[in-house]
Structure 1
Amino acid sequence: MRFLLYANLIAIVLLAGSLARLYEGERLPWLEHRQENAVAELPAPETGDEGSVPAPAAHEPSSPLTLEQIMALQLPLPNPERAPAEAEAVAKFVPEPEPRREIVILTEGAYPPFNYRDGSDALAGFDVELSRALCERMKVRCRFVDVPWDRLVPALRQGDGDAIAASMLIPSPGRETPASGDGLILTDRYYSTPGRFAARRNAVPPAATPSGLAGRSIAVQTGSIHQAYAATRFPNAKLETFPSLEEAKTALAAGEADLLFADRNALLRWTSSGAGVCCRLVGPDYGDVAYFGKGAAIVLREEDAALRDAFDAALDAAIADGTYARISAKYFSGSIY
């Protein structure tokens, strides 16, 4: 495109110069060449009685173009200083693919604090608020639709939405999730789900090592991955099992156990509430993928890889500038990344 533009400009310059020379009565080089050839090809003139050769008629230059005739040609004189700007203007008119303007995000709406309906019956929660922040960074509108958990993936497959943001866990070996099926792709994790210990605030927790926890009582939920992990990692600890996480929390608060081992995100939310004021998180996160998985991700159809990449880039930027930490602290009193 730029080559054609510059070629046209050069042609215009040459034509304009030729017109100017005609206007001043000067012959054009190529016309002179043609005239010389024409003279050379004429037959020799016949001599008269005196043997003299008649002189050729003097060449009369053609009348120069008038200013009105030049203007009638409507050939604009080029301006070299404007050439780059004109080329750039032409390039701007190259059509680009129409960007996606709205994304429909499916969520469950029944899993607080990640996704739920608030007092005004609007979808809210960590999944929803973080997704909305990512959409703003991607400069697209996002519309949220709640779908029952077991219908989320089928609804995505049939085109009822463009993505699922509903705390859907990333599949890993030996850990199937609804996102395990063919034809689906996932973003990077947008939060992790490690195990963590909690202890009473006025107690000095023992070292979180197999020897340090030997003989110590640890409250866990019966049949949970946290029970399985604690039994394997801390075989000499005494596990106190409870039918529900709520009962295990109560046991810790009442001093019936030295520690509670459970999901970090649930413990963050509990210890930041009035009900959990008794206790605090201690020790490191335990993120063994075989037990706790890789975390949660946004799920998309495999043909939407570009949208997946846009979500990942927006998530990286949100983490870098503190947006992620701000949203996470609103629901969990700390980062759950």
Structure 2
Amino acid sequence: MRFLLYLNTIAIIWLAGSLVQLYEGAPLPGYQAPATVAEAPAAAPAAEPEPAAPSLTPEEMAALDLPLPHPARPGAPAVETSSAEAPAARSLVILTEGDYPPFNYRDGKGELHGFDIDIATALCERLAARCRFETRRWNELIPALKRGEGDAVIASMLIPSQGRDSAAGEGVIFSHGYYSTPGRFAARRNNVPPAATPAALAGRRIGVQAGSVHEAYAAMRFPAAERIAYPSPAAAETALANGEVDLVFADRNALLRWTSAQEGACCRLVGSDYADPDYFGKGAGIVLREG
């Protein structure tokens, strides 16, 4: 009996050795290995290869009406292209008088200055335009604009009032006013009239700028006075300083600047402001051609 048990034990050991040799390095059938702490991520499925682009000959590309590729030079930098180019800045010509301080005048170097020039420069910056100034005599500003010698007149030209003829005439339009000042008289300090009324100024010589709203107002308000027209306010002021006229009727701010300077020390403002809305109410505007 013991002998049989001994033979069974030997047979089991031999069978186990054979199984070890048969499954060496591989899991036994029905055996599940324990999970590890961190498992490696599963490999992503391989992407399907994209179909290769067809290779066209220059003749085939020409048949398809496609642009031929340009071979790049070795080491040539890449060139960026844009479908939309920046628009070119507009060029504008601004007409002004250049003889109407403090609004537009030339300094000792011949450069233009004044409020009109500052306004024009600011507008050109807003418009991103290249602007060039040209000067004309007062009576030539509107004709030059109509002839196409400029794109706008910025010269303290007062906006015409309804029911009164304008020195600008037909074919032009005015912008809204960008400043407004009343009219005023100036006289020599040694020849001041007792009052600036129509009766007190009857027979007096009044210097005005030809074609200006001040000339029109003086003709309406002081018909008994003698009006003498000059090509510019400066010419009228010089005539007053030389005694050629008894008074000058012009823009108050311009007269204040002149009488405060050495060349106008001979004279001072007289009377009160004249701000009749039919003549001075809308202020100075920019003049453009119609259309």
Which interval holds the TM-score relative to the shorter structure? 0.3 to 0.5
Greater fraction helix: 1
TM-score (ref. length: structure 2): 0.47
